[in-house]
Structure 1
Amino acid sequence: MPKTKAKATRQPKAPPRQPYDDGKRTRKPRSQPKPSTGGSSQAVSTSVYQAPSPCFPIALPTSATGAVLYRDFCIEHVKTCYPGVEPRNDFELLWMAESTFKGTVEELRATMEEAHKHLVKECGVEESKRMVAKMLGQHIEPTGFKPRPKDTNKYIHIRPIPDTKYSIRLFPGSLSAAEYCLDFVDSASGEPVNSPFEFELWGIPDPDTPWLGVPISMELSSMERSHGIKQEDILPGHEKFLLRDGQTCVLIRPGKPRVRFTVPVRRHPDTVQVAPEVEVVLDFPKVIA
């Protein structure tokens, strides 16, 4: 009797994890490191991912939502990465914002002086000043540049999280890339905090039209964790999550009701309005209860 090879039985794959599971793996709040203080002999040690890295300035209209003056961006970035060290001129401001340096303040100053001498030798004094001023005078679209606690405009939105003393804050990132950011803030003071309680944050399909597009749910990590920074190494109040305009998200906490929200959609100021003789938009209701 010929041998017969038993047909291998394929084990069924485990279903993909959904945001409405029991939430056993939740993000726990971590102790936050204390920021270092400045001093004349302070060792300057910066990390590329301690704060949003400056991107090359892209010339944008000042009316663009999310656009900021590069000078302002550099000032805030330098305060974060070089606490207690004040740039003495525009060249040092630009150099410190775009460079990572480890060493004492004296070594930092000496390095910047050499870099400035080299630039002047190559371009001349006046041209060097013009180049630096042009760089700092441009507008950029940074993603992850947090507003101050009391800053308000039509693009910053804060909503309290039930049964906590914290709120979710949405603030604009790059308009061209349709990027929005989320962080957690103290509801009373407005100060940003890192992961204040156990939670999971998920991006989910639009619950009104889950059949459109690709019905994928995905757990979202902070920008810092996505860049390999350990939770305990994130600077206090710097944690943030990258979202997209129009994205629907759900915040899950153990034993608490889910918190669902949809990110606002910004209209680009340079969007060309279609003339009525070219296109007519019919006003049908979007949702019928």
Structure 2
Amino acid sequence: MAPEALATETPLVNQPDGHPDSNASDSTTQSPTFRFTDLPLIVKRGGIRGKTLRESYTESFRVHFPDFKPRGDIDILVFGGSLDVYDGPEDGIYAWVDKEFAQHAGRWGGGELALRAISRSLDRVVEVTGTKPKRGDACPNVFVCPIPNCAYSVRLFPGAFVMQQYCLDFVNSETGEPVNSPFEFELWAVHAPSRMGLIVPKKIVSQEEAYGIRPEDIKPGFESFVLRDGMTCLLKRPGHRDVRFVVPIRVE
């Protein structure tokens, strides 16, 4: 995301509570946590609305492979749903899709039956969690939170509203470009609204790691973490105060 695109989002001002960031353990001389103080508690629903799976997948692969032209719905389904694992060149996509589809073709049946089933699947209207705001988007309810004593920021952006999912990634504070885990840290959910039935505290891993992708195999800028509306989170970094924040709650 280019610096000028940040103006379309909601930049946040950090308030360090009047305490220095130090490694001292004396709780009388420093606050134990740093807070993103300007995050709103409640926001009107915005951002992601329903779109077909075909539209969502097509938008995603055009960001990273703008010259790729799908031969049909099989290419859209297989490649669009596997962007986070494909690491080859653009001219190798067709062969990769053919190999992947051959391994899983049985689930769709065969011939025209398979093509009709795939088309119906792509025509479903869905909310996709994890689709990152694109450069220049005027996307509501996206919040960029500079991390103290760090060249990077936390970015919160909407996921599926019906699932009360909000996403987090890290961006370069100067350029706005998303990056994968840029420093050593742990992300924890320490509290969640009781209606969600979540067990906390709980360490949060990236979507990709949850699906079995090793951190070193995640494509640059793809990593994201799924949170929930109203969840209280803690970002822990060695040698720094913890950063505590509450994910906004969206309402109609």
Q: TM-score, normalising length from structure 2?
A: 0.61
Within 2, Cα distance between the matches of 1:107 and 1:253? Answer: 43
Task: Tell me, yes or no, if structure 1 residue 87 matches structure 2 residue 73.
Answer: no
Counterpart in 1 of 2:180? 194
Deviation at 1:192, TM superposition (A): 0.8
Letter in 2 for 1:263: V
- Deviation, 1:254, is 1.5
**SS of residue paired to 1:266:** strand
Unaligned segments of structure 2, at least 5 residues: 1-24, 26-45
CA distance in 2, matches of 1:108, 1:200: 35
Aligned match for 2:55, one of 72, 76, 79? 72
Map residues 163-174 of structure 1 onto 2, 5 A cutoff: 163-174=149-160
In 2: Cα distance, 1:135 partner to 1:251 partner: 38
Aligned AA (1:87): P
Question: CA RMSD of the aligned region, Å?
Answer: 4.0
- Secondary structure (helix, strand or coil) at the match of 2:55 reads helix
Gaps of 5+ in 1: 1-21, 23-62, 270-289
Task: Kindly indicate whether the alpha-carbon contact (under 8 Å) linking 2:187 and 2:204 is maintained by their aligned counterparts in 1.
Answer: yes
Is the alpha carbon distance of 1:184 and 1:132 closer, same or farther for their aligned partners in structure 2, counting shifts above 3 Å? same
* Higher share of residues assigned helix: 2
What pairs with 1:200-279 in structure 2 (closer than 5 Å)?
200-205=186-191, 216-267=200-251, 269=252
Query: What corresponds to 2:42 in structure 1?
Result: none
Question: How far is 1:262 from its partner?
Answer: 0.7
Describe the SS at the equivalent of 1:202: strand
SS of residue matched to 1:185: strand
Q: Could you tell me whether the CA contact under 8 Å between 1:169 and 1:182 is conserved in 2?
A: yes
Q: State whether residues 157 and 169 of structure 1, in contact with CA within 8 Å, keep that contact through their aligned partners in structure 2.
A: yes
Inter-partner Cα distance in structure 2 for 1:200 and 1:110: 39
Question: In structure 2, do the counterparts of structure 1 residues 156 and 66 end up closer, same or farther at CA, with 3 Å as the change threshold?
Answer: farther
- Cα deviation per residue 1:67-88 (whole Å; 9 max; x = unaligned)? 3343331114445897864214
Q: Whose radius of gyration is greater, 1 or 2?
A: 1
Report whether the alignment pairs 1:97 with 2:83: no
Q: Secondary structure at the match of 1:249?
A: strand
CA–CA distance in 2 between the matches of 1:165 and 1:263? 22
Deviation, 1:197, is 0.8
Distance 2:97 2:205 in 1: 37
Tell me: CA distance 1:135–1:189, structure 2 relative to 1, closer, same or farther (3 Å): same
Is the contact made by 2:129 and 2:159 (CA closer than 8 Å) also made in structure 1?
yes
| Residue of structure 1 in register with 2:127 after alignment | 141
Check 1:87–1:221 CA distance in 2 against 1; reply closer, same or farther (3 A cut).
same
Q: CA deviation at 1:231?
A: 1.2
Per mean C-alpha deviation after superposition, the further-off stretch among 68-77 and 78-87 is 78-87
Query: Are the counterparts in 1 of residues 47 and 140 from structure 2 also a CA contact under 8 Å?
Result: no
What secondary structure, in the 3-state scheme, does the structure 1 residue paired with 2:80 have?
Answer: helix
Q: 2 CA distance for matches of 1:175 and 1:105?
A: 32
% same residue: 39
What is the SS of the residue equivalent to 1:250? strand
Partners of 2:234 and 2:60 in 1: CA distance: 31
Structure 2: which amino acid aligns with 1:228? G
- From the superposition, tell whether residues 265 and 71 of structure 1 become closer, same or farther in structure 2 (CA, over 3 Å): same
* Residues 113-158 of structure 1: per-residue CA shift (max 9 Å, x gap): x99xx655x59xxxx79x8776555431111122213323222111
Task: Identify the residue that residue 146 of structure 2 maps to in structure 1.
Answer: 160
Residues 166 and 146 of structure 1: CA distance in aligned 2, closer, same or farther (over 3 Å): same
2:14 aligned residue: none
Find the aligned partners of 2:129 and 2:198 in 1 and give their Cα distance: 25
In structure 2, give the amino acid aligned to 1:243.
L
Is the 1:161–1:167 contact (alpha carbons within 8 Å) kept by the matching residues of 2?
Answer: yes
Structure 1 length as normaliser, TM-score?
A: 0.54
